[in-house]
Chains A and B, each alone.
Chain A
Amino acid sequence: MSSVDATRVMPPQEVAPQRKKATLEQQQRRWGWIFLSPWIIGFVVFTAAPIIASLIFTFTDFNLGQSEINFVGLKNWERLLNDPLALTALGVTLKFALIAVPVGILVPLGMAALLNSKALAGKPLWRTLFYLPYMVPAVSAIFVWQSFLNGQTGWLNRILRGLGIADPPNWFQDETWILQAFILIGVWGVGNAMLTMLATMQGVPTELYEAADVDGASGFTKFLRITLPLISPVIFYNLVLSVIGLMQYFEIPYIATRGTGHPGTSAYFFNMHLYKEAFTFFDMGYGATLAWLIFIIALLLTVILFVTSRRWVYYTSGD
């Protein structure tokens, strides 16, 4: 309406080019939507609709083995609260995340700091070698680590015994050590985090370090006061990815324990429970409930990270 009014008020000679311009703009927009359409369709079909559908599933007894679907209200949620295995599995997942997240940030940070050191000779070689294990498929990595951490013949325990530790841990067979074994496998895959941190460190303006040198700051102070604040956005980014990744943690414990989570329930992660309910018993209603629980937890953790990030993440652009 308003555009029609506008053309009426405008002098006639200016109407024609205005209209032509508008159609060109419209044409460009149309092309834009055409090129965007694969993602729009994919987002609706494979992201938005499934999120809503899975929420609806949580109120049904949908089972792929049965043809009938009934609404059961909050029964799945009640079942979840009374499912000791689900709560144990959630506990294992959160306990593991509590160690894995700091390790997953500090180890690549240390490696990046080392690679960024002026005193390191042969940087490209070390960078490649530090990144290398990230490329190993998870399936291979697990079997490789199972033999490396074999209680008897594994090289690590041979070394530990050589160092005088008479009774080194029996990693994958021991309730108290299996999660540490997964942490070690995780340390093998920090290549991406390391690389993003390194690239950001290399982007820190050298004037800042030079100014600190004038003030007589030590290397450690410079790292703490200049490097860390300036790379905090990338640390934050990796922190978010790591938390989300750990809420999806599945392959390594699934393959390493053959889906059992043994010994005991020490390696029974939440997603192994989800996998069992949804893809062994085909109980899609309960599976969706489990999925929504972990989704809510992941969302909460992400929100907490974003809220606290205002206090410690430093953005050079200001505000």
Chain B
Amino acid sequence: MATATYSKAVNTSPFYSLQLRRFAVVSLVTLLALTITVFYLMPFGNMTLLAIKSRDQIAAGVDGSILPLEPQLFNYEGEDYPVYTVPFEDGTVRELALVRKGRQTSQFVDPANPAAGLVEWAGNWRGLTAVSTIQPHFENFSEAWDIINFPRLFGNTLGIALIGMAGTLLSSICVAYAFARFPIPGKNILFLILIGTIILPRQVTLIPTYAFFATIGWTGSWLPLVVPHFFANAYNVFLLRQFFMTLPRELDEAAMIDGATPFEVLYRVIIPQSWPAIISVSLFHFIFAWNDFFGPLIYLLGKPELQPISVGVQTFNFQYGQRPELVQATSLMAMVLPLVIFFLAQRVFMRGVVITGVEK
């Protein structure tokens, strides 16, 4: 109704009112997306601001600001004095550092002009408001970094991730190649079984697998975390197979006629054309290994020197629960790399998600 009368009064062109309506709808929908995003991403803000607070700021609890605020101090003749907002009788309000406290009168110094000496003020200083200033404590990160031994955790995570990545690439590429190119009897059923393993709850294989690794003495080492990746996995095989199937067979056949073995075809013809799929499999595995918690939890129990970042951060945060600023700092440190990788490679990443999730 409102838009109708408006458009009648201002402009008789229906095209113009349509444009206006469209603009209003776009604004509303975009505003909705913005609102969702703000709420959705708010925990990141909570984390970041908590991570740079000092212990005193945190002790202020619910009365404290969400910002890392600290009372502003002014150094006068070698001593730090808190700064207050001081109203004077002539109506002016000045920010002055309280040097000498008194019940009836107090003495202040002007931080802007300390050479002028002390200023006498009549009244009870307890009624004054302290001036706060934003004081971020980035040293929380270096403290957390040292306590948690971040370089060691990072190295372990990187080691586990890269070995497993090599394993899953080698095996998944071969298996995907088999499914994409070779006439294997019962191939469709085998492929269905492979895809079916995606919906197999891991608990059902967990206990014998653990018992097996414990019996052969592999628990307490990286082996249970990396060796299984040398036997391909459904998501990666699926993604690579879909990609291989789009590659023209003529190139394979030409290489075959030239006397290339299937290994050479894979190595010289298929792989060089498949970098987008290979990169997304590598990224998926890296993110998986970085975030994996349960595997390292059970297989590296009691071996802090071998543990990756996920378990390291959890152990640390259980011990340092009384230092929320350090808990948040380590949580932030543990998520930086996955987020950076995602930002840099989001197109490859999202395409991979869509291929594995939609095409089945």
Contact = CB atoms under 8 A, between A and B. Distances in A.
B66 A43 contact: no
Interface in A89-136: 111, 114-115, 117, 119-122, 126-133, 135-136
Contact of A39 (B62, B194, B353): B194
Contacts of B294: 250-251
Interface string B303-339: 0000001110110011000001001101110110011
B173 to A, nearest CB: 9
Interface string B116-159: 00000000000000000000000000000000000000000000
A249 to B, nearest CB: 11
A155 B46 contact: yes
B199 A54 contact: no
Contacts of A154: 46
Interface in A276-296: 278-279, 284, 287-288, 290-292, 294-295
Scoring B40, B58, B179, B206 by chain A CB atoms within 10 A of each residue's CB, the highest score goes to B206
A247 interface: yes
Interface stretch (B71-79, B86-94, B209-217, B274-282): B209-217
A36 B175 contact: yes
> DSSP class of A's interface residues: helix, strand, loop or mixed?
helix
B25 interface: yes
Nearest to B199: A244
A209 interface: no
B290 interface: yes
> DSSP class of B's interface residues: helix, strand, loop or mixed?
helix
A271 interface: yes
Contacts of B212: 50
A164 interface: no
A200 B311 CA distance: 36
Contacts of B190: 36
A199 B358 CA distance: 8
Interface stretch (A27-35, A79-87, A170-178): A27-35
Contacts of B197: 43, 47
Interface in A221-256: 234, 237-238, 240-241, 244, 247-248, 250-251, 255
A195 B357 CA distance: 9
Nearest to A193: B357
Interface of A: 25, 28-29, 31-36, 38-39, 41-43, 45-47, 49-51, 53-54, 57, 62, 64, 111, 114-115, 117, 119-122, 126-133, 135-140, 143-145, 147-148, 152-156, 158, 188, 192, 195-196, 199-200, 203, 234, 237-238, 240-241, 244, 247-248, 250-251, 255, 258, 271, 274, 278-279, 284, 287-288, 290-292, 294-295, 298, 302
Interface of B: 22, 25-26, 28-30, 32-33, 36-37, 40-47, 50, 58, 61-62, 64, 66, 170-171, 174-175, 177-179, 181-185, 187, 190, 193-194, 197-212, 214, 228, 230-232, 237, 262, 266, 287, 290-291, 293-294, 298, 301, 309-311, 313-314, 317-318, 324, 327-328, 330-332, 334-335, 338-339, 342-343, 346, 350, 353-354, 357-358, 360
